[in-house]
Structure 1
Amino acid sequence: MSRHLTSLPASRELTALSADGARIHVEAYGPEDAPAVVLAHGWTCSTAFWAEQIRALAADHRVIAYDQRGHGKSPAAGPGGYSTTALADDLEAVLAATLGPGERAVLAGHSMGGMTIMAAAGRPGFRQHAAAVLLCSTGPSRLTAEATVVPLRPGGLRSRLTKAVLGAKAPLGPVNALSKRILKYATMGPGSAPERVDACARIVHACPRGARYGWSQVLAGLDLGAGLRELRLPVAVLVGTADRLTPPVHSRAMAEALPHCTGLVELAGMGHMTPVEAPEAVTAQIRELTLTYLGVKSEERENEEAEA
């Protein structure tokens, strides 16, 4: 069952060449002439993390998903290749490789994918192609200070321990009952179904150790407040109330700071892995953005309107 959750339909694969020569693996689904959605996954994940959104949206959207450098099928970063500049470069390269001149898309970023969008907000390529954004389970700064993975009071000790835990170089080892219990505590809501925990564990454990460590160091010192304020387009924000990695304090602050926030959705009892934990809710947010800003109606919505 968990493998079905992360199985993907047939795709058209291509490579985007980033500014420093890094090769970014890209997958496209759905009709080539359909309105576009671009999906950016988070730290230690891959395109498979978006499997349920891809399956749901590809019927009437062109869905573009890519592996962040060092994740999935994208090669590891070279020297100096771990930075928010690299994240922005890679997203800009994906947009240039997949969208025509002036073609716009709805962008959805989960966790580090949302941070990627913030890092790219001022780029010409981003502004040319982005119609609207979903920031999903993410934050712009103070990640180790606000995370509640370590059950201590807020303060310097908790921040240091959080950085040490998330930045550990040790291999994660095999997926087993203990590793799934740890991952569920750190990243998912207490009511998460076993098959969804297993699906997330298999994705996270597949992330190479070097990429996991390299990006953890970038995230520990993250400061994208300026990029957040550069998002001068419609932005929806979504978070789980039980998110320990990017708690709701981040999403509430982002909703206040964004020039054009279309709404803040807090999913009761959900953790950090919202696209897998609450796939219908995340897909619904993306669909709402495409309907509003790209004029795309789902088949279900068209049928409802026809019956009315």
Structure 2
Amino acid sequence: MSRWDSHTFTPAAGTRVHAAALGPRDTPEVVCVHGLGCSYRYWLPFARALAPHARTVAPDLPGFGRTRGPRRALGIRQLSLALADWLRATGRGPTVLVANSIGCQIVVDLAVHAPELVGPVVLDGPTFDRRARSLWTQTARLLRDIPWESPALWPPLLTSYAECGPRRALRTCRYALDDPVESKLHLLRTPVVVARGARDPVVPEAWAREVTALLPQGRLLSVPGAGHAVHFSAPGALARVTLDLLPGRARDTDGDAPR
């Protein structure tokens, strides 16, 4: 399984939303929501780790990856509305959602206006620490994260950033910095795992603990040695907790779970 096994383009959110998928069609499904400037590409290691137990579907939100977007960048609410439209257009929901970085903010916002679409959730590196909502602070933290990420992350990441362009990435980041995610966490009323790489400077341990405490059904997972992109650098660890959230799969994967 070196590649995604299918690509679809679905009319939704005023565009044609691209999504890549990997895994058997007769298994439970997991939908992945990418972070700032990213796309379906950097979810592939995680999708491989989940197969053959689950099918991973990774959509590109408008303006990112292979999904065309409007000329102006979209804010967190607009991106979560786009995700909701795609989920409805494809007949999904409630579904297991795994999100990374500002994708976590998008999923949390989804619970504000479309809670019926939200199943169990994994928040992988949830942004932004409310004590550090500064573009310069976050840029410095991202630079400190570089040594803790796999070198294999950079090709898919750079390709994705080239697709969305620096202007869209910067504007989206500013929208995300203005999003008070902590005020909405109580609306996620499904089981939620907050996953944090133990080396992640973007998501300090204190912030990860605060996020977890604000969730009605939250628990914290710390992944040793990992940085901000746990799903890429430690996909097996994230896959194991994700499988625990799937219907009928809880705690029954001993002996054949991802490593």
TM-score range for the pair, normalised by the shorter chain length? 0.7 to 0.9
Q: TM-score, normalised by structure 1?
A: 0.73
Q: Percent identity?
A: 26
1:60-79 equivalent positions in 2, closer than 5 A: 60-79=53-72
Q: Distance in 2 between matches of 1:160 and 1:136?
A: 20
- The answer to whether 1:139 aligns with 2:127 is yes
> Corresponding residue for 2:78?
86
Change (3 A) 1:220 1:85: same
Aligned pair partner of 2:44 in 33, 44, 51: 51
SS of equivalent to 2:184:
helix
Paired position in structure 1 for 2:190: 233
Q: Which runs of structure 2 are paired with 1:72-151 in the superposition (5 Å)?
A: 72-79=65-72, 81-99=73-91, 103-124=93-114, 127-139=115-127, 142=130, 145-146=131-132
The 1:22/1:207 distance shift into structure 2, 3 A limit, reads same
**CA gap 1:93/1:84 in 2 versus in 1, 3 angstroms:** same
Give matches, 1:143-292, under 5 Å: 145-146=131-132, 159=134, 161-162=136-137, 165=139, 185-188=143-146, 190-197=147-154, 200-261=157-218, 263-290=219-246
Letter of the 1:131 partner, please give it: G
C-alpha distance in 2 between matches for 1:56 and 1:271 = 18
Q: Secondary structure at the match of 1:232?
A: coil
Structure 1 Cα separation of the partners of residues 251 and 44 of structure 2: 18
Quick one: distance in 2 between partners of 1:106 and 1:122? 17
1:24–1:66 CA contact under 8 A, matched in 2: yes
Quick one: distance in 2 between partners of 1:136 and 1:73? Answer: 23
**SS, match of residue 8 in structure 1:** coil
The SS at the match of 1:65 is: strand
User: Contact conserved, 1:40 with 1:110, CA < 8 A, in 2?
Assistant: yes
Which 5+ residue runs of structure 2 have no aligned equivalent?
Answer: none
SS of structure 2 residue aligned to 1:56 = helix
When normalised by structure 2's length, the TM-score is 0.85
Whole-angstrom distance in 2 between the partners of 1:160 and 1:302: 44
| Cα displacement string for residues 256-295 of structure 1 (whole angstroms, at most 9, x for unaligned residues) | 110111x2011233211211111111111211211xxx11
CA distance in 2, matches of 1:75, 1:40: 16
The structural deviation recorded for 1:298 is 9.9
Check the 8 A contact 1:270/1:278 in 2, yes or no.
Answer: yes
Aligned to 1:72, the other structure's residue is in SS state: coil
3-state SS of the aligned residue for 1:122? helix
Aligned residue type for 1:9: W
Closer, same or farther: CA 221–55 of 1 in aligned 2, 3 Å:
same
Structure 1's 193 and 118: CA in aligned 2 closer, same or farther, altered over 3 A?
Answer: closer
The letter of the residue matching 1:146 is: A
Aligned to 1:15: 10
Structure having the higher Rg: 1
The count of residues paired between Structure 1 and Structure 2 equals: 257
Q: Distance in 1 between matches of 2:63 and 2:45?
A: 23
- Give the CA RMSD over aligned residues: 2.9
Alpha-carbon separation, structure 2, partners of 1:192 and 1:277: 6
What amino acid is the match of 2:56? V
* Contact 1:121 1:230 (8 Å CA) reproduced: yes
